[in-house]
Amino acid sequence: MGLQNEKKISSLWQTINLEKLLSKAAQTISPGNATDAGKMWRLPTDHPNPILLASGIPDTSTLPSKELLEGFTRALNEAPSDSLSYGGWFGDEQCRKSISKRQALIEKVVLNEDNIILHNGSSACLENILKTFIEPDDVVIVESPSYSGTVRCIQGYLANVIELPITDNGVNHTDFTSLVEKIKNNGKNIKMFYTIPDYHNPTGIVTNINTRKAILKTCEEHNIIIVEDAAYTELYFDSPPPPSYFFLSQGYGVIKMSSFSKIIATGLRVGWIQARHEYIEVLTKVRFDMGNSPLLHYAITSFIENGGLDKHVSQMRNLYKEKCLALLNSINEFCDPYIDVNPPSGGYFLWVNCKKHKAFKVLEEASKVGLIFPIGSVFYVDKNLDDSHFRLAFTQPTFKDLRETGKRLKLTFERLSIN
């Protein structure tokens, strides 16, 4: 009898058009790629030893497993009840204190735990910010190109995402101001400017200090919130980037977000919002989960307070500088006739311009010789804006694979030239 009822219910559902039940966001947004979901993206390849340069993931040799395990153990031994309970809207207080103290030293600003909200990675930070400030049809300006997962998230809140090309110094301030005025003259409400000012994903560009100051002035005049994504800020090779938007504004009109994903491990899923208390107060109004894991917060707090994190980040800077140089040397040696690349001064990525062939053709042919990477068009709202770039992530591959990359890219271009 039960099975018969189940069959009847199933048959009724089979006649219903699921599309009619979907939200507007689910109807209009295209599915993301694996990279947007934090998974390793790859094309099919028959090569026995593929080199994966697709995802921005820390080198597995840098993962501080022993230190984190010690933090977890200490938490379970010393505070089992607190570490295994709900995290709450703000997150563990001691962890927020540790983060605020460390960020205050790094940025030379006054902070305390009340300026910090802990989230499930920077993606959840962004969702909290969007949920707090964005109404359907509000405008969010983004750098072009920009991280595709972020753009899809903004579109998920039914905002209009407007792209502005990034230059070697960040977005051009004159163009930014002109765009703002044009959008406002068309009766649209510009709510935010989302930016990755330090070691930008995917281009590796650092926004210079003069551009930051000018953008801040324009945003202040037009009541536009700057959402500053600092995922890569600490990973400089030689010297730190210019002062943050948050420092320059003392937090007025700027909400900063960052994460331990790039400086410790992606699987920790702990990020934080850094903002003035008046922003923090409204951000928590629309947070409806129970927070993320205090157990993770305890382990991270221990790692920060015993000096382990600072030592760890310093080691990552040196390692990634060497890896970046290994990849640059390889492609410069073998691929100079085919590509242009500007060496980054930190971060995870090389942004490569193809001189002679379309990036999609390069991608297809490269997969056949065992090179996997994304083409530049995936980092644009308008996928037709760029057919000449691709991105190489140098943090995860081995030095051997990075040295091999130039040889395989050369083979890729040679095969394309023959065909």
For residue range 306-320, list pLDDT tens digits in order.
Answer: 999 999 999 999 999
Query: If you average pLDDT over residues 386-406, what whole number do you get?
Result: 96
Could you give the domains of the chain? 28-57+311-418 (3.90.1150.10), 65-306 (3.40.640.10)
Among 33, 86, 82, 75, residue whose Cα is nearest residue 55:
33
pLDDT bracket for residue 386 (50, 70, 90)? confident
Q: Is the pLDDT of residue 376 over 70?
A: yes
For 320, phi then psi, to 5°, come to -70, -30
Segment among 34-38, 167-171, 199-203 with least mean pLDDT: 34-38
**Which residues are CB-neighbours of 313 under 8 A, at least 6 positions away?**
234, 235, 263
pLDDT for the residue 357:
92
Q: Are 148 and 36 in contact (CB under 8 A)?
A: yes
pLDDT for the residue 229:
98
Among 400, 359, 348, 365, residue whose Cα is nearest residue 47:
365
- Please give the model's pTM, rounded to 2 decimal places: 0.91
pLDDT for the residue 264:
96
pLDDT for the residue 1:
47
Kindly state the percentage of the chain with pLDDT values over 70.
93
243-263: per-residue pLDDT in tens? 999 999 999 999 999 999 999
Q: Is the pLDDT of residue 6 over 70?
A: no
pLDDT bracket for residue 385 (50, 70, 90)? confident
Q: Is the pLDDT of residue 399 over 80?
A: yes
pLDDT bracket for residue 162 (50, 70, 90)? very high
What is the distance between the alpha carbons of residues 15 and 160, in angstroms, rounded to a whole number?
Answer: 34
Q: Is the pLDDT of residue 349 over 90?
A: yes
Q: Is the pLDDT of residue 335 over 50?
A: yes
74-130: per-residue pLDDT in tens? 999 999 999 999 888 899 999 999 999 999 999 999 999 999 999 999 999 999 999
Q: Is the pLDDT of residue 222 over 60?
A: yes
pLDDT for the residue 321:
98
Q: Collapsing DSSP states into helix, strand and coil, what is residue 327?
A: helix
* Sheet containing strand 349-354, strands side by side: 339-341, 349-354, 389-393
pLDDT for the residue 46:
82
Task: State the chain's mean pLDDT as an integer.
Answer: 92
Q: Are 33 and 372 in contact (CB under 8 A)?
A: no
Query: If you average pLDDT over residues 153-160, what whole number do you get?
Result: 94
